[in-house]
Chains A and B, each alone.
Chain A
Amino acid sequence: SQKIEQNSEALNIQEGKTATLTCNYTNYSPAYLQWYRQDPGRGPVFLLLIRENEKEKRKERLKVTFDTTLKQSLFHITASQPADSATYLCALSLSGGGADGLTFGKGTHLIIQP
């Protein structure tokens, strides 16, 4: 069966360090993968999208990698800050059509400790 797994339910990181979150998937061949941030009681906020033919994407302190052989994406936050504390979701789209719903992982709750 198809599955998306995010490395841990919770991750504690000290302020200033790099936080690395993992998203593994099985039995999918996604056209692209997205990362979202979700705060309690709120809808997800888009962070980054990476396509199957891209290895790495960056945006300010964020970096995403996508390894279709390993079926894994890594999400990095460098110079982490307490304000980065939130739940981070990875989401897959199966088709490249651009207008399909997303399949989400359960998320990793990231806590940045001052």
Chain B
Amino acid sequence: GAVVSQHPSWVICKSGTSVKIECRSLDFQATTMFWYRQFPKQSLMLMATSNEGSKATYEQGVEKDKFLINHASLTLSTLTVTSAHPEDSSFYICSAIRLAGGVGNEQFFGPGTRLTVL
């Protein structure tokens, strides 16, 4: 199967600090990775689309200067929450599409990262 990992699985940080979350596709190459955010009892909300070697595309309402995305290789994308505040506390989940998968690709999701900002 296709496995996507995230690190860390949970993180607690102080307000004003930055936090980096890694998303890796372990056994396949991913042309495209996505970052989602999920608040308690809410649906997953797409934050941004990350393509290897190019700038990320952000959804409306998501601040690109606050949520920095880097997709440096076909197996790694990182999300950095800069100057985190308590309202950024959420469950961050990444997903990846397998290279050359064709139309209607299955997205493989990571296990998520629980961010708590104090």
Contacts and interface: CB of A to CB of B under 8 A. Distances in A.
Q: How large is the interface on A (under 10, 10 to 19, 20 to 34, 35 or more residues)?
A: 20 to 34
A107 to B, nearest CB: 6
Given A45-B109, A101-B34, A93 B104 contact: yes
Interface residue tally on B, bucketed by range: 20 to 34
B100 to A, nearest CB: 10
A102 interface: yes
A91 B102 CA distance: 18
A83 interface: no
Interface string A5-25: 000000000000000000000
Interface string B59-87: 10000000000000000000000000000
A99 B43 contact: no
Contacts of A99: 31-32, 49, 97, 105
B114 interface: yes
A46 interface: yes
Contacts of B102: 98
A99 to B, nearest CB: 5
B42 interface: yes
Interface of B: 4, 6, 31-32, 34, 36, 41-46, 49, 59, 91, 93, 95, 97, 101-112, 114
Given A32-B104, A43-B6, A49-B104, 13 more contacts: A34-B106, A34-B107, A41-B114, A96-B103, A97-B103, A98-B97, A98-B103, A99-B32, A99-B49, A101-B34, A101-B36, A102-B44, A107-B43
